Structures are given as structure tokens and as C-alpha cells.
Amino acid sequence: MEKVLNSDHPDLATIYNNLGSLYNNLNEKKKALELYEKCKNIREKVLNSDHPDLAKIYNNLGGLYNNLNEKKKALKLYEKCKNILEKVLNSDHPDQI
């Protein structure tokens, strides 16, 4: 996909996110972080700052940093996620945190 899509294509971000989740589950945190960051960079570039897909990657990165015991980074990302979801979802939405 990297060969046929532009480097900032949203589908590529989704692939990076999915691969990051897989590597995270395999306990390969460094590789997961690299892939999540690639996803985040694309999504920040091509999406509005309050897009729910940004909230998802901030949540994924927050969880990874939390597992790596980098609590300040995790907190910052979780806050970004929360702020987006509060802005775009109704208060009774099942994804609202």
C-alpha cells in the first residue's frame, strides 16, 4: 500500500494503526510506537482537529505510553482524546468517556 498510496493517504494511516495494535499485542512496544506515530502524523495532517479518528489514535498512543510507564505523555494524549470526544459526541453516546 505504501507503494500505491500517497504518503498521507487516510487508508495508510488506518493500516499503520492496525499494525501498531498488532505489534502492541505482541508486546513489541517500540515497533507499535513507530506505527502509531506514523498514523498520528497522517491523521493530524489530513483531518480536522476534532475528528473522532484523531481521538482514536490519541487513545491508542496514550495506552501505549501508559504501558511504557511514561505517564505524562499518556495523560496528555488521553486529554486530547477526551477533548475531541466531548466536542463531537453527545453526552449519552456509548463512546463518550
Spatial contact of 8 and 42, defined as CB atoms under 8 Å apart: yes
Tell me the per-residue pLDDT of 64-85, one tens digit each, with 9 for 90 and over.
999 999 999 999 999 999 999 9
The Cα–Cα gap between 28 and 61 comes to 14
What pLDDT is stored for residue 3 in this prediction? 85
Domain 10-88 has CATH 3.20.20.80: no
The pTM assigned to this predicted structure is 0.87
- Which of 14, 19, 63, 23 is closest to 42 using CA atoms? 14
Residue 11: pLDDT band (50, 70, 90) is: very high
CB 61 within 8 A of CB 35: no
Give the pLDDT confidence score for residue 93 in this predicted structure: 59
- Where exactly are the structural domains of the chain? 10-88
Residue pLDDT, tens place only, 13-63:
999 999 999 999 999 999 999 999 999 999 999 999 999 999 999 999 999
DSSP string, 2-39: TTTS-TT-HHHHHHHHHHHHHHHHTT-HHHHHHHHHHH
